[in-house]
A = this chain, B = another copy of it.
Amino acid sequence: MPGLSDATRGRLLFGGDYNPEQWPEETWHEDVRLMKAAGVNSVTLGVFSWSTLEPTPGAREFGWLDTVMDLMHDHGIGVVLATPTASPPPWMGRLHPDTLPVTEDGRTEWWGGRQHFSHSSATYRRYAAAVTEDLAARYAGHPALTMWHINNEYCTFDYGDEAAAAFRRWLRARYGTLDALNDAWGTAFWSQGYDSWDGVLPPRLAHYMRNPTQVLDFRRFTSDMLLECFVAERDIVRRHTPDIPVTSNFMPLWTGQDGWRWAEEEDVVSVDLYPDPRDPLGAQSGALVQDLTRSQARGPWMLMEQAAGPVNWRGVNHPKPRGLNRLWSLQAVARGADAVCYFQWRQSRQGAEKFHSGMVSHAGEEGRTYREVRQLGAELERIAAGTAGRTVTADVAILHDWDAWWAGSQDGRLSGRVEYADVLRAWHRALWQAHLTTDFAHPEHDLTPYSVVVVPQLYSLTDTAIEGLVAHVRGGGTLVCGFQTGVADEDDRVRAGGMDHRLRELFGIRTLHEWWPLDAGETVTCEGFTASLWSEELEADGSADETVPYKGGELDGLPAVLRKGRAWYVSTLPEPEALSDLLAGIAAAAGVRPVLDGLPEQVEAVRRGEALFVLNHGREPVTVDVPGSHHDLLTGTPVTDRITLGRYGAAVLRP
């Protein structure tokens, strides 16, 4: 199978989405000049080009793309060629209304935006396959082609009739019999027993709360339908170009795709990453996505899209202050990226995203944005030899699972304040602040590479996963579990006792009497720290080696944290410092050390292969101890024992 290295060939890819169809041909030559000056070596073509390629049903307009492909090749710029299938031309909806998605309350999503296709529409799939086939056939041998990009940010739902039929087929395949479905969905509750497959629907608008397993299965189905669309197009391009790797860009932590399953079908794992420049935790937010993407890729990955300046879809969209684009790009490389790309090369003058930044902003060549892009391109070239293709290793793994996310995010929960992604972020943040490099893993993955396994929250766990956790501890590993873990099985059936008995035994819990979710602004005091969001009324079974009690309130004296051997249970969400200290201590006890000792808070350090990235996320200069002799790949200067980094400063040190 081909992979990212077939595209990078030892370089770090640098570039972005390029949409020449929005510009007159004279601009293309200006573009190439500016690309070359900035060190751009990769562009992504054809995303959203369907109506240009196929302006009327069945037509093919490849001439302009031939020209651009040739132009790129002439200037040594590789092309990631996208299938255009994320945004069908207006004629498709006009001639084939069956291709349009329908919302859960029966409203049609019309053309005029993007992604107005039903993943379940046979008509859409037929047109998508045809244009993909012809695109692949035409450019299979083109020397500029380095990668295929299928569709874009798969993210649509459909509750319409054709999707309903597909949902029934998917459910038949999953359950075999209606009895099995009725059992899994618990349809004895509220008189929901199905007597016919024809009666099963997507979870459309209902009078009151919908069946949670129906909702859960619909999310699984949606992810699988989108994946079918991806695989269909992937297989077409693969047939034409077996040696060219294929990707499709993820949206980080987006809830609609099961990223683990998807990653298995991709040659290259790529992601779009847009932290808010104003977010004080923007760097951690980026690190989380980078760690997750690297873990999905099991090696180097591609930053397909980021913004050189502001995006345009937040309530208030801030530009990146001077230096931040460079810093966050180097962070991605530090955490395993072999490609640093943007949406998009040249900021659009028209359309819905004309205020989304580009590498060349409205201000053009003289704008600060392009000037910083040009500097970054040069720096990436400088560090490529010492970083590209190298591995990032971690002794700590965070377990993450879309299934558990979906199951735990339903209506009818005890607390609508508990958001899976927030809990995940809080725990990753604690490890990030402790300077512990962290992988992500699926709960059924092999955990033996990791000394410490952290489960922020996995509401549902399969038997296999539970046994894996138990085995991890039995095998000498350390496990730290957050609250509401192991509550349900894969059908969202609550396990007896409200938490699986194997887990309770692992932690030394006799009875989970009640969950005590906390209100907004409410905190709970534990011995040594305060906590928020959640608490639990637990009765220990006497076998725990260590407990940290709640202090005061209804839970006074009951265990907030239990440790039994190497297994820890944390029944609340400690304040950030406390959680970070707790995890740092647990890691240290397991022999896991931070990347560097004594790092100031705003400094991030990551090792990638032999390179040590030191990144100052603060606006004030900072001095960092880096014992021994290094030289900085960015500046070429030697560094002995300590280095001073300016505002948003970075160093890439090699021994």
Contact = CB atoms under 8 A, between A and B. Distances in A.
A205 interface: yes
Contact of A110 (B50, B206, B213, B313): B206
Interface string A203-222: 11111111111100000000
A498 B358 CA distance: 13
B366 A511 contact: yes
Main secondary structure of the interface of A (DSSP, over half): loop
Interface stretch (A142-150, A347-355, A629-637): A347-355
Contact of A189 (B19, B111, B316): B19
How many identical subunits does the complex contain? 3
Interface string A241-256: 0000000000000000
A459 to B, nearest CB: 11
A511 to B, nearest CB: 5
Given A101-B207, A412-B353, A49 B191 contact: yes
Contact of A190 (B114, B196, B411, B517): B114
Contacts of A44: none
A363 B497 contact: yes
Interface of A: 19, 21-22, 48-52, 55-56, 84, 86-91, 93-94, 101, 103, 105-116, 156, 185-196, 198-201, 203-214, 278, 309-310, 312-313, 315-319, 321-322, 348-356, 361-364, 366-369, 411-417, 491-494, 496-498, 510-520, 537, 554
Contact of A195 (B21, B89, B207): B89
A416 to B, nearest CB: 5
24 contacts: A22-B189, A48-B189, A52-B193, A55-B193, A86-B191, A89-B193, A90-B196, A94-B196, A94-B199, A101-B207, A106-B107, A110-B205, A111-B199, A116-B206, A186-B348, A192-B351, A319-B537, A352-B411, A354-B494, A361-B513, A364-B496, A367-B511, A369-B513, A369-B514
A417 B315 contact: yes
Nearest to A534: B316
A110 B204 contact: yes
Nearest to A520: B316
Contacts of A318: 516-517
A112 to B, nearest CB: 5
A572 to B, nearest CB: 14
A362 B497 contact: yes
A322 B514 CA distance: 11
B352 A51 contact: no
B319 A515 contact: yes
B204 A112 contact: yes
A95 to B, nearest CB: 9
Given A191-B87, A493-B350, A513 B363 contact: yes
A351 B496 contact: no
Contact of A19 (B48, B55, B188): B188
